[in-house]
Amino acid sequence: MPSNAALRVQKHRLALRDAGLRPIQIWVPDTQAPGFFEECRRQSALVAAADRADNELMSFLDDSLADLDEA
């Protein structure tokens, strides 16, 4: 006989399926892997440098913010 916890999990999963959802499995980066944070910093620095160099992007963002302020 399943435990109370197993029954709760089963009930929860059935409710999700009844709501039109389905379970999926995805692979995500291992945040504990050696070098993970260094790689995050490296990629973040590249993105930040590209953003700073893109004057059109900054203009677009400023215009978008102004549009939000007017709304």
- Structurally, the chain folds into a number of domains equal to 1
| Among the listed residues 41, 37, 40, 61, the one whose alpha carbon sits nearest the alpha carbon of residue 51 | 61
Within-domain flag for 1: no
Query: Which amino acid is residue 33, in one-letter code?
Result: A
Domain range for 65: 33-71
Residue 36 pLDDT? 98
The mean-pLDDT minimum among 3-12, 27-36, 39-48, 53-62 falls in 53-62
Percent of the chain predicted with pLDDT > 70: 99
Alpha carbons within 13 A on the beta-carbon side of 71: 6
Residue 71 pLDDT? 66
Helix, strand, coil: what percent of the chain each, to 5? 70, 0, 30
Reported as a single tens digit per residue, the pLDDT across 5-34 is 999 999 999 999 999 999 999 999 999 999
Within-domain flag for 44: yes
Alpha carbons within 13 A on the beta-carbon side of 65: 6
Within-domain flag for 65: yes
Within-domain flag for 54: yes
Q: What is the pTM of this model?
A: 0.52
